[in-house]
């Protein structure tokens, strides 16, 4: 495939959106075609699923939750991401399958290999060339979110030990695939993080 697929991962409040926007501006200033997208969401169907999975009141069984994220992902990759990559665009995506392994696997205590396999089936095994993991301790992420003054969604509202398991799962995923992951301490200044990302991305985009 001609394009470049870069995903951003990290806990809620780790600074992904800020870094994605900075990177998009940098790439666009160099004349690159950039597609900014996210999961869940990214398509009309995805936004409906996002509403259910993040905001629906009441219990959702863990496997049903995993399937809802996988349904969003499947449609998103098939209808938006693959076509963009085939055109040769650079896709910057806020969250991908590592989110499911961390949140539904470690967070909801499903088998991480099964959760991963579900997403690989859903996406016909599309993997990113680079995954930027912004690593922030759960307690700091919670403080940052509290400052944004918006309501917590279903996942964010989970207790700190849930978010600690998510963080540990991310770090284990990164350790298992050091070629794909760039792990950055999300407590570093915004501009420093941006520079570290640029070092890696410059090699990929030429
Ligand atoms: P965000 O758009 O603010 O990052 O919120 C997405 C929420 O959904 C976040 O709490 C993480 C969660 N999530 C999962 O649990 N599994 C997934 O596969 C994805 C993509 C997100």
Question: What's the rounded Cα separation, in Å, for the pair 18 and 150?
Answer: 17
> Is pLDDT at 151 greater than 80 in this prediction?
no
Asked, for residue 190, whether it belongs to a domain, the answer is no
> Is pLDDT at 36 greater than 70 in this prediction?
yes
Non-local (6+) Cβ contacts of 189 within 8 A are none
Residue 6: beta bridge partners?
92, 130
- Ligand 1 centroid to residue 11 C-alpha, Å: 9
| Parent domain of 46 | 4-185
Can you tell me the mean pLDDT for 171-187?
98
Residue identifier of the C-alpha nearest atom 16 of ligand 1: 100
Quick check: CB of 15 below 6 Å from ligand 1? no
Question: What's the rounded Cα separation, in Å, for the pair 37 and 153?
Answer: 19
Asked, for residue 88, whether it belongs to a domain, the answer is yes
Asked, for residue 196, whether it belongs to a domain, the answer is no
Asked, for residue 205, whether it belongs to a domain, the answer is no
Asked, for residue 204, whether it belongs to a domain, the answer is no
Tokens of 112: 């991480």
Query: How does pLDDT run across 47-97, given as a tens digit for each residue?
Result: 999 999 999 999 999 999 999 999 999 999 999 999 999 999 999 999 999
- State the total domains in the chain: 1
| More confidently predicted of 197 and 155 | 197
- Does the model's pTM come out above 0.85? yes
Asked, for residue 118, whether it belongs to a domain, the answer is yes
> Is pLDDT at 198 greater than 70 in this prediction?
yes
Beginning with the edge strand found earlier in the chain, give each strand of the sheet holding 34-38 in spatial order: 34-38, 90-94, 4-10, 130-135, 181-185
Asked, for residue 160, whether it belongs to a domain, the answer is yes
pLDDT (0 to 100) of residue 149: 63
Percent of the chain with pLDDT over 70: 99
User: Is the Cβ–Cβ distance between 92 and 34 less than 8 Å?
Assistant: yes
**Gap between the terminal Cα atoms of the chain:** 15
> Is pLDDT at 141 greater than 90 in this prediction?
no
Asked, for residue 192, whether it belongs to a domain, the answer is no
CATH number at residue 97: 3.40.50.300
Average pLDDT, the chain: 95
pLDDT (0 to 100) of residue 147: 78
Residue tagged 């760039």 (tokens): 182
> Is pLDDT at 189 greater than 70 in this prediction?
yes
| DSSP symbols for 38-101 | ESS-SSHHHHHHHHHHHH-SS---HHHHHHHHHHHHHHHIIIIIHHHHHHTPEEEEE--HHHHI
Percent of the chain with pLDDT over 90: 86
pLDDT (0 to 100) of residue 33: 98
Quick check: CB of 39 below 6 Å from ligand 1? yes
Query: How does pLDDT run across 88-125, given as a tens digit for each residue?
Result: 999 999 999 999 999 999 999 999 999 999 999 999 99
- Ligand 1 centroid to residue 198 C-alpha, Å: 25
């Amino acid at each position: 495939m001609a394009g470049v697929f870069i995903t951003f991962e990290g806990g809620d409040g780790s600074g992904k959106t800020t870094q994605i926007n900075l990177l998009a501006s940098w790439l666009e200033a160099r004349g690159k075609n950039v597609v900014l997208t996210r999961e869940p969401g990214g398509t009309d169907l995805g936004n409906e699923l996002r509403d259910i999975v993040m905001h629906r009141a009441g219990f959702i069984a863990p496997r049903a939750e995993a399937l809802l994220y996988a349904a969003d992902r499947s449609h998103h990759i098939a209808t938006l991401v693959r076509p963009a990559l085939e055109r040769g665009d650079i896709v910057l995506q806020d969250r991908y399958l590592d989110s499911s392994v961390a949140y539904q696997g470690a967070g909801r205590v499903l088998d991480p290999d099964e959760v991963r396999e579900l997403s690989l089936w859903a996406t016909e095994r599309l993997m990113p060339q680079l995954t930027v993991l912004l690593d922030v301790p759960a307690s700091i992420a919670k403080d940052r979110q509290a400052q944004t003054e918006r309501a917590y969604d279903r996942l964010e509202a989970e207790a700190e030990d849930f978010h600690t398991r998510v963080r540990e799962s991310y770090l284990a995923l990164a350790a298992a695939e050091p070629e794909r992951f760039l792990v950055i301490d999300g407590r570093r200044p915004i501009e420093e993080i941006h520079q570290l990302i640029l070092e890696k991305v410059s090699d990929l985009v030429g």
